[in-house]
Amino acid sequence: FFDFEHYDTFQRHSQYCSTTVMLITMSVYIFIICYLKALLQSTAHRTIPHGVLSTTVSLLILC
């Protein structure tokens, strides 16, 4: 016997979860892009510290 009503609720819940994860991922990407843009603009005045650059790269790899 399969509980269809329970399954439907579970499906809806997992759909909601994946949407939330997607939104969080998108905002993280937007933040990284803005951060990189700011870094690139600041390079016109000075060089980027090597540590900041490697941290950003590792963040991108993790995401």
pLDDT of residue 63: 54
Summarised one tens digit per residue, pLDDT across range 6-60 is 667 777 777 777 888 888 889 999 888 888 888 777 765 555 566 677 777 777 7
Q: Which residues of 13-32 are buried (b: 16+ CB within 10 A; e: fewer)?
A: eeeeeeeeeeeeeeeeeeee
Higher-confidence residue of 1 and 42: namely 42
Please tell me the total count of domains within the chain: 1
Range 8-15, long-range pairs (CB < 8 A, 24+ positions): none
Token duo for residue 12? 């809806």
Expressed as residue numbers, the domain containing 36 is 4-62
pTM of the model: 0.45
Q: Kindly give the residue spans of alpha helices, DSSP state H, lying in the chain.
A: 4-43, 50-62
